[in-house]
């Protein structure tokens, strides 16, 4: 047991979680694209959306935050037994949703425990150091778990409209995390790499990037004040796109590790605005959801996994491995094809869904092929972590 705990994979959260996210994200999207339709208790696109939001994206969010909080607070990271426990709960949740009958309910319990356990793991160093800036991140992980729990309550009643609102609530929370992370890193990374001034943002903009989607998520989860939820989502999207314009430098285009972050943040902003408008113009709903789901979640998580894994495994970030831009362009293509599918019908729709799924999976598998060997062995520079 001691040797297992000391294995490099349990040194920091990004190691097991990025590996699992890449492999499971590729598997689940291919299953959906080529015919898997879930179980009677969690059928069709409800399974697909559930697994992409709380299975794939939720895992990457937790991985990033539990890795970053060690730097933000100067405290030891979540590792060893605590990290193994988190991994077990995530795996149990994933396995259970494939089991007919009791599986969906059990997956709901295990998945919610995963998020709330992760919130506690982040809360310990944050509250111990009175790192007030990150109190909101702890609360947001707890709310993400709450949206998961609310969806499973709606699933038990099997009210399709309530379930759709529940899925949108989870998606809004992930968009909020994208807003939080993007506000903290995109301008900073750009200034550091290009040797240009960092573009400061008003404090209210930083708060709004997380709080507006989080407010929309909580309202959607409880199915109250839905016009206000739509306005919050729309406003968050406009803020995100304005920020992309403010942070932009033409030289970003020469740096894949930068432009992938800008692209993911822009797609998220565009998707938030479209999802907000969909309350009044329902035809925008599919476009908005998939701009966030593929363009935001897919593009930005891939970019963040690629960058942070290089830094935390002691490898050079610039220039990135040659396979990394290939993975990025595959994910961009998956986004564009899936956006087209929102307006397609018949065989064009089916082919678009499958093509997007293959591109999405290929991007993650390229990442897995290049990065998992680094994630499973000690840092290249000999440092802990």
Give residue limits of the domains in the chain. Answer: 2-375
Distance CA 286, CA 271 (A): 9
Share the mean pLDDT of the chain: 91
Q: Which pLDDT belongs to residue 319?
A: 87
CA trace torsion 14, 146, 90, 132 (10° rounding): 30
Give yes or no for residue 1 having a pLDDT over 90: no
Percentage of the chain beyond pLDDT 70 is 98
Q: Which pLDDT belongs to residue 163?
A: 85
Q: Which pLDDT belongs to residue 61?
A: 93
Q: Which pLDDT belongs to residue 160?
A: 83
Q: Which pLDDT belongs to residue 203?
A: 86
Neighbours of 126 (CB within 10 A): 22
pLDDT in tens, 152-181: 998 988 888 888 888 999 999 899 989 988
Q: What is the mean pLDDT of residues 95-120?
A: 95
Specify whether the CB–CB gap between 148 and 111 falls below 8 A: yes
pLDDT in tens, 373-384: 999 988 877 777
Q: What is the mean pLDDT of residues 331-348?
A: 89
Q: What is the mean pLDDT of residues 137-160?
A: 90
Q: What is the mean pLDDT of residues 183-192?
A: 91
Q: Which pLDDT belongs to residue 385?
A: 64
Give yes or no for residue 5 having a pLDDT over 90: no
pLDDT in tens, 270-296: 999 999 999 999 888 889 999 999 999
Rounded alpha-carbon distances, angstroms, from residue 381 to 314, 335, 368, 374, 376: 5, 36, 21, 12, 15
Q: What is the mean pLDDT of residues 65-73?
A: 92
Lowest mean pLDDT among 52-61, 252-261, 278-287: 278-287
Query: How far, rounded to the nearest angstrom, does the alpha carbon of residue 235 sit from its chain's CA centroid?
Result: 20
Distance CA 82, CA 191 (A): 36
DSSP 109-156: HHHHHHHHHHHHHHHHHHHHTT-GGGHHHHHHHHHHHHHHHHHHHHHH
Task: Return the residue matching tokens 């019908």.
Answer: 345
Distance CA 227, CA 225 (A): 6
Specify whether the CB–CB gap between 266 and 240 falls below 8 A: yes
Q: Which pLDDT belongs to residue 2?
A: 60
Q: Which pLDDT belongs to residue 35?
A: 86
Distance CA 185, CA 261 (A): 9
Specify whether the CB–CB gap between 125 and 70 falls below 8 A: yes
Q: Which pLDDT belongs to residue 320?
A: 87
pTM: 0.92
Give yes or no for residue 362 having a pLDDT over 60: yes
Residues in a beta bridge with 38: 43
Contacts of 48 (CB under 8 A, 6+ apart): 28, 29, 32, 38
Percentage of the chain beyond pLDDT 90 is 67
Q: Is 43 helix (H, G, I), strand (E, B) or coil?
A: strand
Q: Is the peptide bond before 319 cis (omega within 30 degrees of 0)?
A: yes
Structure token pair of residue 222: 């409880």
Angle at 237 between CA 208 and CA 182, to 5 degrees: 65
Q: Which pLDDT belongs to residue 44?
A: 85
Considering the domain delimited by 2-375, tell me its CATH architecture: Up-down Bundle (1.20)
Q: Which pLDDT belongs to residue 159?
A: 82
pLDDT in tens, 16-25: 999 999 999 9
pLDDT in tens, 197-228: 898 888 888 889 989 998 999 898 888 898 99
Distance CA 364, CA 112 (A): 25
Residues in a beta bridge with 43: 38
Query: How far, rounded to the nearest angstrom, does the alpha carbon of residue 7 sit from its chain's CA centroid?
Result: 26
Q: What is the mean pLDDT of residues 244-264?
A: 95
Largest CA distance in the chain: 58
Q: Which pLDDT belongs to residue 114?
A: 97
Angle at 232 between CA 226 and CA 235, to 5 degrees: 140
Q: What is the mean pLDDT of residues 47-63?
A: 94
44-53, 337-346, 375-384, range with greatest mean pLDDT: 44-53
Q: Which pLDDT belongs to residue 4?
A: 65
């Amino acid at each position: 047991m001691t040797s297992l705990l000391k294995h490099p994979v349990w040194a920091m959260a990004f190691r097991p979680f990025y590996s699992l996210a890449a492999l499971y994200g590729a598997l689940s999207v291919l299953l959906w694209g080529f015919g898997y339709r879930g179980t009677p208790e969690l059928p069709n696109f409800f399974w697909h959306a559930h697994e992409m939001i709380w299975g794939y994206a939720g895992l990457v969010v937790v991985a990033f935050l539990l890795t970053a909080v060690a730097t933000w607070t100067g405290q030891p990271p979540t590792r060893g037994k605590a990290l193994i426990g988190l991994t077990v709960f995530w795996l149990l949740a994933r396995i259970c949703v494939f089991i007919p009958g009791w599986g969906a309910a059990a997956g709901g319990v295990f998945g919610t425990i995963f998020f709330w356990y992760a919130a506690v793991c982040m809360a310990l160093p944050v509250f111990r150091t009175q790192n007030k800036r990150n109190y909101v991140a702890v609360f947001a992980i707890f709310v993400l778990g709450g949206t998961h729990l609310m969806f499973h309550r709606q699933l038990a009643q099997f009210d399709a409209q309530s379930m759709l609102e529940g899925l949108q609530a989870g998606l809004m929370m992930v968009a909020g995390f994208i807003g939080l992370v993007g506000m903290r890193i995109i301008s900073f990374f750009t200034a550091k790499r290009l040797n240009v001034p960092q573009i400061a943002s008003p404090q209210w903009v930083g708060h709004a990037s997380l709080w507006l989607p989080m407010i929309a998520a909580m309202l959607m989860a409880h199915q109250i004040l839905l016009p206000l939820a739509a306005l919050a989502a729309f406003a968050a999207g406009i803020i995100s796109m304005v920020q992309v314009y403010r942070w932009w430098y033409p030289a970003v285009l020469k740096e894949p590790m930068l432009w992938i972050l800008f692209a993911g943040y822009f797609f998220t902003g565009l998707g938030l605005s479209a999802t907000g408008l969909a309350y009044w113009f329902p035809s925008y709903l599919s476009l908005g959801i998939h701009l966030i789901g593929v363009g935001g979640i897919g593009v930005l998580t891939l970019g963040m996994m690629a960058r942070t894994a290089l830094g935390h495994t002691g490898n050079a970030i610039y220039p990135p491995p040659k396979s990394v831009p290939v993975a990025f362009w595959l994910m961009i293509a998956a986004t564009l094809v899936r956006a087209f599918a929102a307006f397609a019908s018949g065989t064009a729709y089916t082919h678009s869904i499958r093509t997007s799924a293959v591109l999405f999976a290929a991007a993650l598998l390229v990442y897995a092929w290049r990065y998992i060997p680094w994630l499973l062995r000690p840092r290249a520079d000999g440092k802990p972590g």
